[in-house]
Structure 1
Amino acid sequence: MIDAPRDTGVAVALFASTNVDDVLVLIGFFSDPRYRPRQIVAGQFLGIAALVLASLAGALLSLVVAPAWLGLMGLVPIALGLRRLLPARDEEAEAAGGKAPVGHALAVAGVTIANGGDNLGIYTPVFATSPGPRLLLFVAVFALMTGLWLALAHRLVHHPALGTPIRRIGRVAAPFVLIGIGVMVLVEAGTVSWLYQGSSAQ
Structure 2
Amino acid sequence: MIDEFGIALSAVTAHVATNLDNLAIMVGLILTVGQLRTLSGYLIAQGMMLSAAYFVSAGLETGLPHQVGYLGFIPIGLGLYALVGRYLGADSTAAEQVSKSHVLAIIALFLSVSFDSFAVFTPLLADSGPSYTAPILFGAGLSVVGLAVGGAALASMAPAKVSRLERLEWLAPYVMIAIGLYVVINTGTDIT
Structure 1 counterpart of 2:23, one-letter code: V
Q: Is the 8 A contact 2:78 2:173 kept in 1?
A: yes
Alignment gaps of 5+ in structure 1: 192-202
TM-score normalised by L of structure 2: 0.77
Deviations 1:6-40 (A, max 9, x none): 112201111111100111111121111xx342222
Cα distance between partner residues in 1 of 2:7 and 2:27: 29
In the TM superposition, what are the counterparts of 1:1-202 in structure 2 within 5 Å?
3-32=3-32, 35-58=33-56, 63-65=61-63, 67-85=65-83, 86-87=85-86, 89-90=91-92, 104-159=102-157, 161=159, 164=162, 169-190=167-188
Q: Secondary structure at the match of 2:24?
A: helix
Kindly state the Cα deviation for residue 167 of structure 1 after the two structures are TM-superposed. 6.8
> What stretches of structure 2 of length at least 5 have no aligned partner?
none
Q: What CA distance in whole angstroms lies between the structure 2 residues aligned with 1:118 and 1:105?
A: 22
CA distance in structure 2 between the partners assigned to 1:160 and 1:190 by the alignment:
36
Q: Which amino acid in the other structure matches residue 31 of structure 1?
A: L
CA contact (8 A) 1:157 1:163 kept: no
TM-score (normalised: structure 1): 0.74
Superposition CA RMSD, Å: 3.1
**In the aligned structure 1, how far is the partner of 2:6 from the partner of 2:164?**
35
Q: 1:160 to 1:121 in 2, by over 3 A?
A: closer
Distance 1:135 1:115 in 2: 24
Alpha-carbon offset, residue 148 of structure 1: 2.0
Secondary structure, counterpart of 1:57 in structure 2: helix
Aligned pair count reads 182
